[in-house]
Every structure is written in structure tokens, then in C-alpha cells.
Chains A and B, each alone.
Chain A
């Protein structure tokens, strides 16, 4: 085959697949955007509102991307909420103590990575079901937050306003940073051997192991990278959440992360989904809540019910054509 023929085959077939998986997330997002603009053009398109939405997307998209790595390989992670809170709390304490935001950030990411390393060891080495291992992590790291914070709120961390600056574009720096990181994860998943292994593990772990892949190492690395993303998500939680952290911050965010993945077309059984799905899903979840608020639905219970219904719709669309699910 000549090089030109080769390229045309790549273009024809390669893109068919990835675009299908991308469209699973992109089309509903576009529909949601059109609906939102249609329902409340003057408020929704208001630059300040757009900025608020982008700010809200940022921490969620980061932890959802970590969660996506785990879900793609067929496991589940219940620790992102607690991990995000723990890393945010550490960052807040260090910022208070040293006024060095860079040091605080590094510490947060280091703690997040440690949380991921421990999750990875529990699942890959000690062979504990990821659901159970990370359920333990959920409660343990939340307890850690309560202990180190002494139960107090830490506020006024205005140093983090560097991430909310937009230089007149209404696109906050923190959001751009998150998108950049997510693109790196995209490259990792689509273009590298590691990414291939992650998808393979989610699709048929037994086969991948028999094929001689160092599956435990790949799993361990996935949890570790996810942990680092939770750490960065913790930093952005401070920046985008009013420069404050309290012991119950990010509570339930593991569920928002999983919901983002579902909305983003990531199959919960693993092996299938576009790497930008988490970002698109987090955007959908945020915009959905935003438009409800703009329409005057301020009651949390009503908002959550609508989100739940949308989630059911998305999950149904995702598993359409399957004979059964677990």
C-alpha cells in the first residue's frame, strides 16, 4: 500500500470510530446549549454567567477526568470527593502558613498522587474490589480532612484569585489550565501504549493479561494519575469556590464525577468512551444546574431531581442496543 492510500484509509476508518464516541457526548451538549440559549438568552449568554459556568466546570472536569481513567479500565473510584477535599484542605493550610501558593499546589498534587498510589496498591496489588477499596478511601480521607482542619472553615485565600483572572476574555485562567491538562490526558489515552492498555483492560481484562500486558502496573498508574488530577481538582476547588474550604467541601463530588462520565458517554462497564467525554459531561452537568437557576428553579431538591432524570436519559441512550446490563 502506498503512503497516500494508507492515509486515506486512516482518515476513512479511524475517524469514524472516534467521532462516533465523541458525538455521544458532543451532540447532547450542543442540544443542551441551544436549549439553554433558547430558554434564557439574555441571562445565559451574559458574559458574567459564562464565566461563572466555566469556573464551576473547572474543578468538576478535573476530577471527572480522573474518574474517567478508572471507569475506562472497568473499575470505579469513590474517592474523588474526599480526595479533592483533602488536597484542598492541605493546600489551604499551607497557604495560610507560608503564603506560598506554589508550594501549596505542589503539596496538594503530591497528596492527591499519594491517595491514588494507595488506591492503586489496594486494587492492583492487594486485589480488593475497586468499589470497596475506594469506598474505604472515601471515608478515611474525609476523616483526614476533619482532623487536619480541626473542624474549622478556612477562608479568605485570595491568593487563588490568580486562577479566576480572565484578562477581559471571561475565560478564567484556571479553566484554560484544566483544559490543557485534559488534552494531555486525551493524548495519553489515544496516542500512547498506556492508553491502549487502559481501554483494553476495560474491554476484556482476562484477554489483555493473557496477552502479556503488565496489567497491574497499568492499573496502578491509572489510579496514580487519577489521584494527581484529584489534587489539582482540590486546588481549583479553592480557586473557583470562593477562596474557602470547609471540612465538608466537595462532599458527594464522587457522584458528580461519575455522573459527568455517564453524561459524557463513558461506558460504566469500561473499554468505551471518548477521552474528552469527562470534560463535556462535566460541562453538561454544570450548564444544566445553571440554566435551572436562571429559570428561577432555586430549590436544590428540584434541581437534583432534574439532574437525576437527565442522568437516566443519558444512561439509557448509552446502553441502547445492549441485551442486558448489570
Chain B
């Protein structure tokens, strides 16, 4: 590959309080290539991208664009050098049309003086879209657009300001398989036109599919840059994690299965939903229809289904947040009423939400106080006072036991990486004396290494303490690798139940076809 160099980030070092996010990384991006930046969460890939985009200034190292050394003070500088960033969190304005959003994203104060000519701008954008075969309706309100189309909108906006270097930060994580394909088609077109594209991802398959070269980062350091033609998935995972991938999947041992069969015959289920129908109060929720679920003591049960199939609704129903119109919740065979999360916890049911940031973490709190917010009873003295020494001891033990990477139990939770934040929430559940913990997508959005660790924790926790776990997941490998029994849910209905013994993932997946 002998294309011209677009960006050279040379020996970049970027430190944040307590962490070196990027440590002496050199990254080269050429025109006419898609260059993957692969790594786990916290590997430093997004930070590196933001350094190149002028969001962060590097502590050491230099950046060359088109062979010339540049000092980027802000994203605006980067844009003036022809760099654009496409990011899932960049806000498009839902109430405006596609065309208006493109105009806004490409807008610069320098062009304020010139008159905005709607017709010729539309023609200009139409030409760009035709060239790259992007079919977006210019007059559609952005609120009706899918995640993929919003991504494409940003790409068009970048092209409209003649960006030659595109930085894509985890563009595929909110997309469906079909949408990913559509995005990749466009990216390949852009590559042919000679654009330089940097593509951040933690998905190994994707990196191999779309990229020409892949730079692997681990813990802020560059491991290697490889040609994607000459590497296979297995060795790539190994480079990314620094260990063998096999050990990551199967968490569960099938040995204990016979013991469970005994339980099924002899015991009453700890929690049972019997013929439950719900009436959602929020439009986005879907109603549950005739849900029958049993969870035995010490068992790990998964409810598997796609996003929007009703998994979270089952969790919310057990937390008393969704109204049951028919059917019962039974606790050891006795009917109970759950009207609020407080009721649920009084009955020993604890829920760890899917959206860590919105419903899980308390951002101003330390690691320690995030852990014990549900179990302040165990660190109380004189009825209302918090015993700080005991709090630290409890938190310190959990940090050790769960292998949480944090500078101290008193570090602020927001300083931790996603995987470690999730471990703190798992610790929160473990500190309560809950009998059933509902894990809603416990490993979504965190990297493979932390995924395996958290699954192992959940499994061990259930087996050792006899606590039941209900895993709500859209990841079939998670269900198979972790659960004793698997319910498959679709459109608010349970459609199959499996005992997880010599179970094949395709057998489960065919239910959803």
C-alpha cells in the first residue's frame, strides 16, 4: 500500500488524572484506506481519535496532517484541516429535517456572511448523495430516522464541507446487522474515492470485514498494526485481550445440572410469574402477554430475546414499575404484591438496570458509596449514622473480590471504565441480601475481557451464595454460556423454554427467525 499519508499521530501520550489513557502510540492513516482502531473499552482508542480531532491536546507527541506538523487547538482547527468526526452521540436535532441538519453540522461562522441559498445547497447535497449512493430523504424530519440514517447524515455533512479524513467512533454499536451492511457499503465507496477513514471498534469481526489495516490498542498502548488480509479472528482477539479467547465463553459447568434437576422436582420456585399480563404506562414499553416463568433458588435463568421483545418489561414488572392487569407473582408459592422498588427489595428482589448511566450509577458518588447505596443497613451504627471505616472496609473487600480497577474505593465512579462501573453495580447487588437478582443486559457495551469476568462473577455468586439470578439478555452466547435454563421471549410472550444441556445456539436462534 503506497497511498499518500493523511494523518500521522506520532508517539502520542495523553494522561488523565490517575490514568495514562494513551501511552506513546503512533498511528498512521493513509488516503484510500479504512484503518481500524481495535481495542477493549478503556484501551485508549476513542481518546486517540479525540486527540486527532482536536478535542484533547496531547501531553506529548505530535500530529502531522498531509505531512505537515499541526497544532490542533479545537475540533474547529481539525475541521479546517479536512477532518470530520462521526459519532453516535453527536446530536442531530430531531425536529429539523435532514437537509437542515446537514446545513447545521457543516455550518461555520465564516460562512455566516454569505447568503444561504436553499435550492443550490439542496442540489449540492443531492449530488454528493448520488455520487456515494446514499439514499436519504432530504425533507424527512430527523426524528423519524433510524440510527444508521443519522450516522449517514453525519457522513454527508462531513462530505459537504469537503472533509477528506473521516474519523468514525464506534459507529456500528447502535446499528442492526442490516444497517451495518448499508454503512459499510458507503464507507467502501468513500474509500474508493480516496478518503482516509479511521474506524474505531471493539468488534473483531467487523474490523476484519471492513478495514484494510488494523491497529490494536491495549491499556493505552499500541500492540501492533496488521494487514487485515493476513490475520484471522482468533489471533486478533488474542492480540486485543492478551490471552486465549476460549476461556472467555463457557462460564457455567454442566456438572451441577443434575443437582438442579433434583431442585425442580422437590422445591417450590423462589419466584414465579403465573399468567402475567401487563399494561405499560409508557408508550415505549410493550405489554407482556401470559408470562409464565419460574426461578428456583440458586439457579441462573436467562430470558433471551431481541431488543424490544419484553425482557426489560419483565424486570420492571418484578420491580413494581409496570402495572399487572392479570396474573400473579408468587414467592415460594405464596402470592405477593409488588408496587414499587422498595416493595421488591423487601421481598428480596433486586434489579440491575440495562442503562448503567441513566438508571444505575450515581455520578457524584464515590465507588464505595455507589456500591453500598442499597445496603447502608450493614454499615450503619446508632440507627442513622454511616460508619465510614466499615464502609471503606466493605468497599475495599469488594474491590478486591471483584477485581475492580480503581485508584481507591474513594475514587469517583465516573473515573472508572464501563466494565469496572458495571462491576461496581454487581457489587451493589451482592451487598444486599437479595434472594433474586435481575441482571438486565449485564455485559452490554463492555469489552470481551470484562464481559467474561462479569459472567463468571454472576455465576459464582449464584452458586456460592444460593442467590438466584435472572439474566435478561439479547446475546445468545451469554445465555448459553451462563444460564441453567433459558426462556426465549418474542413480542412480550415466552415462546420456548430450554434446559441448558448440550444446547446449540442455532437451536435457540431459529425461534427468532
* A192 pairs with B359, CB closer than 8 A: no
Q: Across the interface, which residues of B come within 8 angstroms of A193, CB to CB?
A: 376, 380, 384-386
- Write the chain B residue with the least CB distance to A200: B362
Please tell me if A140 contacts chain B, counting CB pairs below 8 Å.
Answer: no
Whether the Cβ atoms of A212 and B374 lie closer than 8 Å is yes
Is A210 in contact with B362, judged by CB distance below 8 angstroms? no
**Does B366 lie at the interface of the complex (its beta carbon under 8 Å from any beta carbon of A)?**
yes
Against B, the Cβ 8 Å flags (1 = close, 0 = not) of A32-55 are: 000000000000000000000000
- If A191-B385, A213-B373, A271-B363 touch, whether A1 touches B342 (CB-CB below 8 Å) is no
B410 to chain A, nearest CB (A): 3
Is B351 part of the contact surface with A, judged by Cβ < 8 Å? yes
Q: How far is the CB of A189 from chain B (nearest CB, A)?
A: 11
Among A5-13, A112-120, A152-160, the one that faces the other chain is A5-13
Q: Determine whether the beta carbon of B319 is less than 8 Å from that of A9.
A: no
Contact A203:B359 (CB < 8 A) given known A17-B410, A212-B344: no
| A13, B389: Cβ atoms closer than 8 Å | no
Q: How far is the CA of A272 from the CA of B414 in the complex (A)?
A: 14
Q: Mark B362-373, 1 if CB is under 8 A from A, else 0.
A: 111110010001
Interface of A is mostly: helix
Task: Check B364 against A199 for contact (C-beta < 8 Å).
Answer: yes
Whether A199 pairs with B365 at a CB distance below 8 angstroms is yes
B342 touches A17 (CB 8 A): no
Residue A207 interfacial (CB < 8 Å)? yes
Give the size of the chain B interface in residues (CB under 8 angstroms): 37
Say yes or no for B14: interface residue by CB 8 A criterion. no
B361 touches which one: A16, A204, A214 (CB < 8 A)? A204
Q: Could you tell me if A203 and B364 are in contact, using CB atoms closer than 8 angstroms?
A: yes
| Bound-complex Cα distance A89 to B490 (A) | 64
A190-214: CB near B (< 8 Å → 1, else 0) gives 0111101001101110111111111
Q: Which residues of B contact A272 (CB under 8 A)?
A: 364
| In the complex, number of A-B residue pairs with CB atoms less than 8 Å apart | 94
Of all chain B residues, which has the CB nearest A270?
A: B364
A9-B392, A10-B392, A17-B410 given; A207·B385 CB < 8 A: no
CA distance A200 to B386 in the complex (A): 15
Interchain CB contact under 8 A, A210 and B358: no
- Interface: A326 (CB within 8 A): no
Least CB distance from A218 to B in Å reads 11
Scan residues 57-114 of chain A and give those whose CB is less than 8 A from a CB of chain B.
none
Distance from A310 Cβ to chain B, minimum over Cβ atoms (Å): 26
> Are A17 and B365 closer than 8 Å at their CB atoms?
no
Instruction: Point out which of A7, A12, A17 has the most chain B C-beta atoms below 10 A from its C-beta.
Output: A17
B341 close to chain A: CB less than 8 A: yes
* A188: nearest chain-B partner, CB-CB: B384
Q: Are B341 and A209 in contact (CB under 8 A)?
A: yes
Give the complex CA separation of A50 and B194 in angstroms.
74
A9 and B408 contact, CB distance less than 8 A: yes
Q: What residues of chain B have their CB less than 8 Å away from a CB belonging to chain A? A: 319, 341-342, 344-345, 350-351, 353, 358-366, 369, 373-374, 376, 380, 384-386, 388-389, 392-393, 396, 408-412, 428, 432
Given contacts A14-B410, A200-B362, A203-B365, 11 further A-B contacts (CB under 8 A): A7-B389, A14-B388, A192-B385, A194-B384, A199-B364, A206-B359, A207-B360, A209-B341, A211-B428, A212-B345, A272-B364
